[in-house]
Amino acid sequence: MEYEFIGNNILFEREKKYEVNYKGIVLPHVFYADFVVFDKIILEVKGVKKMMDEFSARCINYLKVSGNKLALLVNFGETRLSYKRIVL
């Protein structure tokens, strides 16, 4: 993915770190999104046999801490490419 982004001049950040701020306190837990594309789309990439609900929940957490509105959860591990679009 990274090579395709670079080759197509797509602005992205790899493994972007998000801190969790709760009522003005930064919690010790952090999130790392696989990719953030165009500084507003969370792209979570998987390579598993079956998508799990926890992957969607993780994307929702990324959206909440980032302030972004759109996440794409993409799985290359199934027979056919599967994906889920998550909007907040």
What are the strands, taking DSSP E only, across the chain? 12-22, 25-37, 41-46, 70-75, 82-87
Question: With 90 as the cut, is the pLDDT of residue 10 above it?
Answer: yes
**Using 50, 70 and 90 to split pLDDT, how confident is the model at 44?**
very high
35 vs 23, residue with greater confidence: 35
What's the pLDDT score for residue 24? 87
What's the pLDDT score for residue 46? 96
Q: Which CATH architecture has domain 2-87?
A: Alpha-Beta Complex (3.90)
- Return the domain boundaries, the chain: 2-87
Q: Which alpha helices (H) appear in the chain, and where do they start and end?
A: 2-7, 53-66
